[in-house]
Amino acid sequence: MTNSDQIRLFFKKNKAISASAIADEAGINPSAFRNFLAGDRNLPEKHLPALLTTLKKYGFKEGETESRLIAVLNHKGGVGKTTTTMNLGKGLSLLGKKVLLVDIDPQANLTQHCGVAHQVEKTIVDTLLNDEVLPILEIDTNFHLVPSELALATAESQLMSDVNGWFKLKNALKFLKSNYDYILIDCPPSLGILTNNAVLASNDVIVVVETEYLAISGLGTITKHIDGIRRNSLNENINLMGLLFTKTNNTVVSKEIVKELSTVYKNKVFKSSIRRNISIVESAGNGTDIFSYAGGSHGAEDYMNFSKEVLEK
C-alpha cells in the first residue's frame, strides 16, 4: 500500500478530521487535496513530507496497513455476484495486490469457481460454528480463498441462536487484516444472517446489478438495509462503494436501466460495467478466472477496468 493509499484510508476511517484544515496546515491547496482524497488526481511528491508530518499529529502511522474489506452482494441470484467476486479479486491480484476471497454462500459457487471441486478438510463452517481459525487455500500468487460448503445452509439457525452469531466473521477476519490488501466476501442471495455477517465485517459494499427490471426491483431494500446498519451503530464505517452493472448489452431496456439508476444513485454507480460475454460463463464452468481463461476477451477487459476503478476508490 503506497503512502497515497494509506492517507486516503486514514481519512476514510477518520471522517471527523477536516481535510481542508489538514491541507492548510501542510501548505497544500485544499481543493487539490480534496481531489486527491477523492482519487481524481495524484499529490505531488514535494507535498508529502509536510503532509505526513501534519497527519502524524492526528494519529497517522506511516507504513501501517489494513485490509479493505468488501462485501459483494445482491439479494437476487444469477446477477453475476460470484463471478464478479472472483474476477475482481484476480484482477486486483494481477495489479499487485494481495487478495483473499471469502465464500459465505452455502451454494459454494465461488469455491467451485476457484477450481476447488474436491472435498476440503476445513471450510468457513468450522469458523462460524466452532470459532476455528479461517481455513485458507492458495489459488494463485497473492490470491487466496476461504472455501464454503453446503453444510453452511444448516448453520444459519445455530448462528441466530448465538448472541455473537452476527459478528462471527468480523471476529475471525480481524486477525487477517494486516495480511491482505483486499478481502472480498461473496454473499448468498439474501439479507439473512450470513450476508449480515459479511456487511458487519466490511468497510464497503459492492452491489452487483443485472440490467433487467426484475433484477433492480429490490435495490431500495438493500440500500435501506445498509443505512440501517450504519444508523444503528452496528457498523458505522460501512459504505456503499457502488453499483456494478453486469450482463449489459445494446438493447433499449439495458440502456434505459443504466440511465435510470445512474440518475438516481449518481456517484454511487461505477463507470465500468460488464458486458455479456460467453467467455465469462465458460471460465466459471472451467473453474478459473476470466484472465486465465480468455485474457483477450471483452470480459477480461471489462473486469480489469473494474479492478482499476476499485483500486482508485
Residue ranges matching CATH 3.40.50.300 in the chain? 68-312
- Spell out the per-residue pLDDT of the chain, length 313, in tens: 567 778 887 887 788 899 999 999 999 999 989 888 887 677 888 888 889 899 988 888 776 567 899 999 998 888 899 999 999 999 999 999 999 999 999 999 999 999 997 778 899 999 999 999 999 999 999 999 999 999 999 888 899 999 899 999 999 998 888 889 999 999 999 999 999 999 999 999 999 998 877 667 778 889 999 999 999 999 988 999 999 999 998 888 888 888 888 888 888 999 999 999 999 999 999 999 999 999 999 999 999 999 999 998 8
Rg of the Cα trace of the chain?
20
- CA angle (120, 125, 129) in 5-degree steps: 145
CA gap 267, 136 in Å, rounded? 35
The per-residue pLDDT for 306 is 97
Q: What is the DSSP letter of 146?
A: E
The per-residue pLDDT for 64 is 57
Whose CA is closest to 77, among 196, 273, 208, 173? 208
The per-residue pLDDT for 2 is 62
The CATH number that domain 3-56 falls under is 1.10.260
Whether residue 12 contacts residue 202, with contact meaning beta carbons closer than 8 Å, is answered with: no
Residue ranges matching CATH 1.10.260 in the chain? 3-56
Runs of H (alpha helix) within the chain: 3-13, 19-26, 30-37, 48-56, 81-94, 109-113, 124-130, 155-160, 168-173, 193-201, 213-216, 219-231, 252-265, 278-285, 290-293, 298-312
Side chain identity at 112, as an amino acid letter?
A: Q
Tell me the fold of 68-312: Rossmann fold (3.40.50)
Could you identify the residue written with the cell 452491489? Answer: 207
